[in-house]
């Protein structure tokens, strides 16, 4: 197989494309944590030619905004709290105040955070690709704040509030000091509008996401450990339907060995670089 300059070829894994050299940078390179990371020309070409592209994002996309991820050993939210203690309906029933307070803390943290260059690059990508679907597992609303128009939230939104008993969205309630607050209709507990373990994903969101994955020509899996289902199966569905799979993540994930290209670096650095190369490739077409 012959390879063009700057093309590491499909199936390169790990650091195969991260080259430690100090020559002047070719156009397709980015410096990530002191290492030069090649963005293969063939990948940029495939992206430029694609009519239907999906980006599936996870907590890693918001890491550079200061929002903790879930499973990373040092900084993940669940290094301090066990998921099963906080993110299940059973946990909420057992310790409603603890769970409500935890989400209040996270809401405040997220409200103070700002979108990072990765979020902005994805909102620009939406403008460049004829049919672009942004599927996010994140509940923080940062994609929308970066200007992405069509965001499919697979795990809900931390800024929504539901009645725990009725499942209905609640917009206002009286602040009588009760924690969690009470539903103004049925006096049941209010809960955050996110999807906990053991709960079904919003039907329409999952249906749209599954359709987009099955129909896309290229899927970017960005900043997710690819462990939580059913979101984790979407790249496999896309691959089975013939799409090119590209992972952007500084560390190996469950998906890495199934991806056609792996860009080992933070989303906030890799995505703007990929976008820059895409603009150039589109201009040259």
**Closest CB 62 distance from ligand BJW, rounded Å:** 8
Closest residue to ligand BJW, based on beta-carbon distance: 60
- First-to-final CA distance of the chain: 24
**Closest CB 285 distance from ligand BJW, rounded Å:** 29
Question: Is the CB of 189 or the CB of 196 nearer to ligand BJW?
Answer: 196
Q: Which residues bind ligand BJW (CB under 6 A)?
A: 58-60, 63-64, 69-72, 76, 87, 137, 139, 155, 194-200, 223-225, 227-230, 248-251, 253, 266-268
User: How many Å apart are CA 86 and CA 105, to the nearest integer?
Assistant: 13
Query: Which DSSP helix (H) or strand (E) runs through 151?
Result: strand 151-153
User: How many Å apart are CA 119 and CA 146, to the nearest integer?
Assistant: 6
Cα–Cα separations (whole angstroms), residue 214 to 154, 211, 272: 16, 5, 26
Task: Decide if 143 is catalytic.
Answer: no
Cα–Cα separations (whole angstroms), residue 101 to 89, 191, 192: 15, 11, 11
Question: Is the CB of 9 or the CB of 250 nearer to ligand BJW?
Answer: 250
For 271, counting Cβ atoms within 10 Å of its Cβ (0-12 exposed, 13-18 middle, 19+ buried), the class is: buried
Q: Where are the alpha helices (DSSP H) in the chain?
A: 41-49, 60-63, 77-80, 83-86, 89-94, 96-112, 117-128, 142-145, 203-215, 234-240, 267-284
Question: Is the CB of 167 or the CB of 184 nearer to ligand BJW?
Answer: 167
Question: Is the CB of 208 or the CB of 282 nearer to ligand BJW?
Answer: 208
| Residue from 12, 155, 229, 258 carrying the catalytic annotation | 155
Question: Is the CB of 40 or the CB of 118 nearer to ligand BJW?
Answer: 118
**Closest CB 242 distance from ligand BJW, rounded Å:** 23
Neighbours of 157 (CB within 10 A): 17
User: How many Å apart are CA 131 and CA 108, to the nearest integer?
Assistant: 34
**Residue numbers annotated as active site:** 155
């Amino acid at each position: 197989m012959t390879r063009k300059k700057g093309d590491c070829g499909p199936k390169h894994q790990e650091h195969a494309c991260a080259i430690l050299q100090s020559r002047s940078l070719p156009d397709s390179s980015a410096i990530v944590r002191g290492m030069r990371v090649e963005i293969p020309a063939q990948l940029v070409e495939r992206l430029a030619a694609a009519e239907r592209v999906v980006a599936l994002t996870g907590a890693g996309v918001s890491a550079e905004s200061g929002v903790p991820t879930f499973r990373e050993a040092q900084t993940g939210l669940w290094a301090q709290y066990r998921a099963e203690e906080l993110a299940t309906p059973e946990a909420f029933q057992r310790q409603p105040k603890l769970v409500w307070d935890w989400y209040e803390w996270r809401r405040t943290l997220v409200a103070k955070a700002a979108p990072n260059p990765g979020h902005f690059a994805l909102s620009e990508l939406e403008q460049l690709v004829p049919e672009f679907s942004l599927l996010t597992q994140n509940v923080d609303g940062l994609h929308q704040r970066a200007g992405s128009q069509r965001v499919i939230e697979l795990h809900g939104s931390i800024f929504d509030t539901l009645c725990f008993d009725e499942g209905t969205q609640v917009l206002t309630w009286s602040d009588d000091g009760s924690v969690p607050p009470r539903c103004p209709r049925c006096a049941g507990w209010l809960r955050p509008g996110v999807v906990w373990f053991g709960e079904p994903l919003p039907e329409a969101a999952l249906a749209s996401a599954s359709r987009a994955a099955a129909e896309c020509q290229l899927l970017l899996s960005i900043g997710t450990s690819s462990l939580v289902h059913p979101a984790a199966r979407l790249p496999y569905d896309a691959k089975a339907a013939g799409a090119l799979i590209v992972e952007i993540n500084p560390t190996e994930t469950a998906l890495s060995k199934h991806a056609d290209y792996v860009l080992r670096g933070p989303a906030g650095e890799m995505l703007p670089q990929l976008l820059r190369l895409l603009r150039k490739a589109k201009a040259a077409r």
